[in-house]
């Protein structure tokens, strides 16, 4: 693979598949980074849940490292992690308790962003969705 490619991975799945697509997306992102690519991930729709600390800590798909490990490696390698601001509002509106007490704070380094940010990233990079 040619060095210097830029990718944006758009993740839409949350906990409904047990974190399988999230694990695959972050594992691919780390692989792309290891091959010299600049990678960003945009958490959209139900995948906004992965912007929080608590849910990530519980996901470990057989045959893969825990999701939290992939996210840590992704961020340590300079990966940008964006979350749809409206999706977070929609996702957390169903919680009767204080959402931060339930889900915890955003992971460090997560940037809340709108669809114009996603559109800009798609225009600049190769796009894959999960």
**pLDDT tens per residue, range 41-73:** 999 999 999 998 877 888 999 999 999 999 999
pLDDT level of residue 27 (50, 70, 90 thresholds): very high
Q: Which distant-in-sequence residues (6+ apart) come within 8 Å of 56 by Cβ? A: 50, 67, 68, 71, 107
Say which DSSP state 108 is in: T
**Quick one: pLDDT band at residue 1, thresholds 50, 70, 90?**
very low
Spatial CB neighbours of 78, under 8 Å, sequence gap ≥ 6: 33, 38
Considering only the C-alpha atoms of the chain, give the largest distance between any 2 of them, rounded to a whole number of Å: 49
pLDDT for 93 equals 72
> How much is the pTM?
0.90
Q: What is the CA radius of gyration of the chain?
A: 14
Token couple for 115: 């669809």
How many helices (H) and strands (E) the chain has is answered by 6, 5
**pLDDT value, residue 56:** 80
Domains and CATH numbers, the chain: 6-129 (3.40.1260.10)
Average pLDDT for residues 17-31, to the nearest whole number?
97
Give me 21's structure tokens.
Answer: 């697509």
At residue 12 the predicted structure's pLDDT band, cuts being 50, 70 and 90, is very high
Taking only the tens place, the pLDDT of each residue in 69-125 is 999 999 999 999 999 999 988 877 766 555 556 677 789 999 999 999 999 999 999
Q: At what angle do helices 67-76 and 20-34 cross, to 10 degrees?
A: 30
Q: How far apart are CA 59 and CA 62, in angstroms?
A: 10
């Amino acid at each position: 693979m040619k060095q210097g490619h830029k990718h944006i991975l758009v993740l839409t799945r949350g906990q409904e598949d047990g974190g399988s697509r999230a694990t695959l997306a972050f594992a691919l992102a780390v692989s792309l980074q290891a091959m010299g690519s600049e990678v960003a991930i945009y958490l959209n729709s139900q995948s906004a849940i992965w912007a929080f600390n608590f849910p990530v800590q519980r996901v470990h798909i057989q045959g893969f490292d825990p999701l939290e490990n992939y996210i840590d490696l992704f961020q340590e390698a300079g990966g940008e992690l964006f979350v749809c601001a409206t999706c977070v509002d929609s996702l957390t509106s169903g919680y009767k308790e204080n959402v931060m007490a339930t889900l915890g704070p955003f992971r460090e380094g997560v940037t809340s962003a709108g669809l114009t940010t996603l559109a800009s990233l798609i225009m600049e990079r190769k796009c894959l969705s999960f």
